[in-house]
Structure 1
Amino acid sequence: MLAYGRQSIAQDDIDEVVRVLRGDFLTTGPEVPKFEEAFCAYTGAPHALACANGTAALHMIAMAMDLKPGDQVIVPSISFVATANGPHYCGAEVIFADVDAETGLMTPHALKEAMARADKSRLRAVFVVHLNGSRVDLEAIAKLTKEAGVALVEDACHALGSTYPVGNGTGNVGDCALSDFCAFSFHPVKTITSGEGGMVTCRDPEMAARLALLRNHGLERDKDLFTDPEIGFEVGTGEHNPWAYELQMLGYNYRLTDFQAALGRSQLAKMSRFGPQRKALVAAYRRKLAPLAHLVTPALNTDNEDAVLHLMVGRIDFAARGKTRRQVMAQLRELGVGTQVHYIPIHRQPYYAKLNPGLNLPGAEAYYAGCLSLPLYPDMTEADVDTVVRALATVLGD
């Protein structure tokens, strides 16, 4: 069975995890900062903070910005619910933006429309999603957020290894050259995995320090940053109490373990192979699906053909084929091809629908109606792509 996505774990990854398991630290040891340093080197961001998962990364960002009830944020409706949940955990109201019906990406036009529905005095941030690994028009969106005086957050949980144009050059998604924060996920089906895990990148050292506190309950252990001398220092001598720590803000236990960090760093070192493999598979899909363009078309941002895709999404007019999506998925599975749907529009989820009654986002609805995630992961071969394409032709009735 070809799954729509899966981890690619080799013996060297396993060896790295075992090495840590046999060492002195399973958590809060040296592996996490090593992973963070490697991630900074890969993305070009000055600061990287590892955490428990991509949802934790988004929540930490919202807390670092001090989002609170009464604030508003804009989020595209096509994403995993975590993109909306992260800022909403802090009480912020989510204004859902529409997306391009073909790519699922929030466009500058859609952002302008969402901004028009927002209260300008309460709008604090825009969360963009590089869906499937294709990046949004970051320069145009950054210009709009700068003009509005609001923060720009990139949800890049799908987009490790992708790039974007900036000025006359190219930036790496995650370098935060145009944004305030960027969030990543290392779930098993993502581009690299640490089992579960996440990362936040940013350029502001003060925000990096806040993020470091927020992922560890808000506890400060640096004696030079203590605020209460009676906790941190011995009365009379002024000597440092080595056990001391201060709760300086309310945080969460969002730490990444050392053995997860070791796996993540081992996986990150393979991006020079994983990235080209994913690109080659996507190129094969494009070639082999071209004769079936009347049946299925790739949901790709044609302005970003060099992207490292996390998901290979096909757009299918199920009604025109006389079959439901459920029927197509079941028949593909019988032929050994696993598929998935990414995503149900968040504004349609019962929780958010109650908060946004009557909201109509036609682009999100159209994208959702036709999207189907096809198998894509580094261990696949071109022959596997042939299998998927043949199955699609059979099931869709070519």
Structure 2
Amino acid sequence: MNNSIPYGRQNITPEDILAVTEALQSDYLTQGPRILEFENEFASYVGSKFAVAVSNGTAALHLNALALGVKPGNKVITTPLTFAASANCIRYCGGTVVFADIDPDTYLLDIKAVRKLLESAPRGTYQGIVPVDFAGRAVDLEAFRKLADEFDLWIIEDSCHSPGGFFIDSQGVQQHCGNGNFADLAIFSFHPVKHIACGEGGMISTNDEALYKKLLALRTHGIVKDEDLYTNSIEFASAKASTNQYPAWYMEMQMLGFNYRLTDFQAALGTSQLQRADFGLEVRRRIAKTYFQAFKNEDFIKGQSGVIEGHAYHLYVLEVEDRLGLYNYLRENNIYAQIHYIPCHLMPYYRELGWKEGDMPIAENYYKHCISLPMYPTLTRDEQVFVIEKINEFYNV
């Protein structure tokens, strides 16, 4: 096959282009009506009360940590099997990241390992947990919520891999990622290889109105323009008293925030992409089923993502022997698989903070064998068959 096959790829349709063009030709390029439209439609999609659009997923994580009051000395638990931003957001606020190992069967943060950390330290040592819906598999947040409540912790759900994903709760109900029923805050990414592509972009979802209002201010320099949120400003009070009118120019910077805004044309693209999000999920799940059937009886497979109810399949992962050999062989055949991830605690930055090889043995063993296969809705049947053939060819020559 002559065309290259990446592990992920965006899909931009004529409808997407029209939506962006209309936004570019409108009166607003940023801070306009398309932001709120995107936020409202996304909140409806995941089932949350509120949503806040921001410039990227990392910004979403940072604002969450700020809104929850993370400060120097605070300890927060997360998984080593994630993109670095899931941990870095705590460091941005001066907090301390504590990694807990993964469950080898799910690749998700192991709740037993988290409980062990909590029970081995004085109460109040830890402030929160950042579980990650790795590869698109939803964390059982009902169980994590019970644990968090037991130890008075907040939860940030990193759902960058899982819009549309869900788990089944103890009552048999589908609980969608980011719906706000269990996590205090959840975040999503709109990077080109994600389910919904805005070029860059992110979203925060929550059911907590106080956190929602705080996030709105934090994403725009900490500035508030809502009369109901103003403090007892002398200028505002005197202007209103003398004119009995709202001084429209008035605003307050109430906290130190950031410029983490999304543009209107990015929001227009996101809103357009959201219209076919369910179809994209359906295709991803069909691709996953094909991979699973192809490899389920192969001796060279140590593990694979499998067919899991509610899985959003941002990634489809195999665990294999001679991962490097397979990776290079696929590249020689224009198949550009990827590795997700080098465990965070082994990155030089976190090594300098005291983490070392052997601290997270399950995540480290996973990393030695994992490879992410091409997974995106426009992957053709012929392309997927070619990928499967080349993997079998590598191990069966």
- Shared fold per TM-score greater than 0.5: yes
Query: Are 1:193 and 2:192 counterparts?
Result: no
**What CA deviation, in whole Å up to 9, does each residue of 1:176-204 have, x standing for no partner?**
11111111101000111111011111111
For 2:280, the equivalent position in structure 1 comes to 274
Aligned residue in 1 for 2:186: 182
C-alpha deviations, 1:69-90, integer Å up to 9, x for none? 1111001011000000112211
Of the candidates 347, 353, 356, which is equivalent to residue 355 of structure 1?
353
Structure 2 counterpart of 1:345, which letter? P
8 Å contact from structure 1 (residues 134, 301) kept in 2:
no
Query: Matched residue pairs, number?
Result: 390
Q: What TM-score does the superposition give when structure 1 sets the normalisation length?
A: 0.94
Q: Distance in 1 between matches of 2:53 and 2:302?
A: 36
- Matched with 1:101 is 104
| Distance (whole Å) between structure 2 residues aligned to residue 171 and residue 279 of structure 1 | 18
What's the RMSD between the two structures over aligned residues?
A: 1.7
Instruction: State the partner residue of 2:216.
Output: 212
Q: How far apart, CA to CA, are the structure 1 residues paired with 2:228 and 2:167?
A: 40
1:177-326 pair list within 5 angstroms:
177-227=181-231, 228-231=233-236, 234=239, 236-291=242-297, 293-296=298-301, 299-300=304-305, 304-318=308-322, 325-326=323-324
Residue 171 (str. 1) matches residue 170 (str. 2) = no
Query: How far, CA to CA, are the matches of 2:181 and 2:288 in structure 1?
Result: 27
Match of 1:91 in 2: 94
Compute the displacement of 1:101 (Å). Answer: 3.0
8 Å Cα contact 1:183/1:199 also seen in 2: yes
TM-superposition CA deviations, 1:327-353 (whole Å, max 9, x none)? 322220111211111111111111111
Structure-to-structure mapping, 1:313-392, within 5 angstroms:
313-318=317-322, 325-358=323-356, 360-392=359-391
Deviation digits for residues 121-146 of structure 1 (CA, Å, limit 9, x no counterpart): 23110000010001223222222111
Alignment check: 8 A CA contact 1:187 1:196 kept: yes
Deviation at 1:236, TM superposition (A): 3.5
Partner residue in 2 for 1:321: none
C-alpha distance after superposition, 1:233-278 (max 9, x if no partner) = 6373354332221101111000110000010011111012101011
Q: TM-score under structure 2 normalisation?
A: 0.94
Q: Name the CA distance, whole Å, in 1 between partners of 2:180 and 2:156.
A: 9
Separation (CA, whole Å) in 2 of partners of 1:146 and 1:39: 27
* Residue-by-residue CA offset, 1:40-73 (whole Å, 9 max, x unaligned): 1111100111101111111111001011011110
Partner residue, 1:322: none
User: Which segments of 5 or more consecutive residues in structure 1 lack a partner in the other structure?
Assistant: 319-324
Does residue 3 (structure 1) correspond to residue 1 (structure 2)? The answer is no
Cα shift at 1:118: 4.9
